[in-house]
Amino acid sequence: MKFSLVIPCYNEAANLPLLLDRCKDLAAQPEVEVVLVDNGSTDGTAELLRNLLHQYPGCRSIRVEENRGYGFGVISGLKAASGQLLGWTHADMQTDPQDVLRGLELFEKHGDDIFVKGQRYGRPLMDVVFTVGMSVFETLLLARPMWDINAQPTMFSRSFFEGWETPPDDFSLDLYAYYHAQAKGLKVYRFPVRFGERAHGVSHWNVNWAAKRKFIRRTVDFSLQLKKKIST
């Protein structure tokens, strides 16, 4: 069964050579493709992809002309993907694209009607505290276990993806997918992934506490919308 890994890239030109090297063996696996989404980058990502991709069979790219958010980039890649199993991860190399190979083992063992997600270790203490707080809040609000929501990779079947309605364009997509998997009664499987430092550049959201507050506000707003739908 073919698997497509989507990797949204927003101004990640400095990370692309390393990212593609880590994807090379993955994309060489039978029935695996890697779809890199140039998510409206302005730093030369598009040109670099054009120059490098021919060296990496099994990897291809699509371009989103205007950045409309992380979630929009992921959704664009999922729509362009050809696999019956789908997933996404980040381009910053804080998690390894090859982590999905362990996720695929869970699909081989349990079938495709499941939801698979990494669970991070090796993170700074304050980031762990932040994640615990958000996890407890979401679990209590939505009455479902919602732990380490933004961990990657995230993996699921195409049939699950095709049932999504109006997914969010921002980082709330992680919450949306995780919540809907549980709402649909899918068994959730987690596996440990090492979380390291960015290879190059800076995070597009985890820059400082002001950025965290903005992220929290958006996530809480979306969570309240989900709660309202549950109640109606």
What residues does each domain of the chain span?
3-231
HSE-up of residue 56 (Cα within 13 Å, Cβ side): 26
- C-alpha 55/C-alpha 47 separation (Å) is 14
Segment 137-192, tens digit of pLDDT: 999 999 999 999 999 999 999 999 999 999 999 999 999 999 999 999 999 999 99
| E strand or H helix at 5 | strand 3-9
Q: What is the pLDDT of residues 195-222, one digit of tens each?
A: 876 565 555 555 566 776 777 788 888 8
CATH 1.25.60.10 fits 3-231, yes or no: no
Q: What pTM did the predictor assign?
A: 0.90
